[in-house]
């Protein structure tokens, strides 16, 4: 049965989200990195859905604030790929056990570091941007845990 979260827990969670959001706003990432571990310690029910919703909120507010500076230049393909990738990521969160997701995240980070060291370059075209968007959607939702 669902139980309500105590008001003091919600107040503390709001402070944690504030500092995660502040980090996100200042350096461009960090909401999940800062907030997720503390929210999980505070109450496991606060992870991952509130983090995903807060990330979406911050992204929409940033979009509204920066809309005059927005230039797609082909990025619309990556944004379109992010939609199915987001759904795939949510599906993986629902069916995959946490240890497997942890291994997936560790593998992604390791692969990314390896590709950065090797100076691996990929041509930028519509298909590659779409694939990058799909991967971004999948890994973004998985990392939200």
Query: Which pLDDT value is given to residue 78?
Result: 92
Given a contact cutoff of 8 angstroms between Cβ atoms, the answer to whether 122 and 128 are in contact is: yes
Query: Which residue shows structure tokens 């604030």?
Result: 65
Position 1 pLDDT exceeds 80? no
Query: Which pLDDT value is given to residue 71?
Result: 80
* Phi–psi pair at 140, nearest 5 degrees: -65, -40
Query: Which pLDDT value is given to residue 77?
Result: 92
Look up the pTM and report it: 0.64
> Which pLDDT tens digit goes with each residue over 65-110?
988 988 878 888 998 999 999 999 888 888 888 788 778 878 887 8
Query: Which pLDDT value is given to residue 103?
Result: 84
> Which pLDDT tens digit goes with each residue over 8-58?
999 999 999 999 989 888 887 888 888 888 998 999 888 888 888 888 888
Query: Which pLDDT value is given to residue 31?
Result: 86
Query: Which pLDDT value is given to residue 75?
Result: 85
Helices (H), the chain: 7-27, 31-42, 49-65, 75-95, 98-117, 126-143
């Amino acid at each position: 049965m669902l139980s309500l979260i105590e008001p003091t827990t919600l107040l503390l969670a709001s402070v944690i989200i504030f500092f995660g959001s502040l980090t996100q706003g200042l350096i461009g990432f960090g909401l999940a990195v800062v907030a997720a571990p503390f929210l999980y310690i505070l109450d496991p029910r606060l992870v991952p859905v509130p983090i995903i919703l807060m990330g979406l909120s911050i992204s929409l507010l940033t979009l509204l604030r920066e809309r005059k500076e927005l230039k797609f230049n082909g990025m619309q393909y990556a944004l379109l790929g992010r939609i199915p990738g987001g759904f795939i990521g949510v599906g993986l969160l629902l069916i995959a056990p946490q240890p497997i997701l942890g291994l997936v995240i560790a593998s992604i980070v390791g692969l990314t570091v390896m590709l950065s060291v090797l100076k691996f370059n990929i041509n930028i075209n519509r298909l590659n941007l779409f694939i990058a968007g799909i991967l971004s959607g999948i890994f973004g939702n998985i990392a939200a845990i």
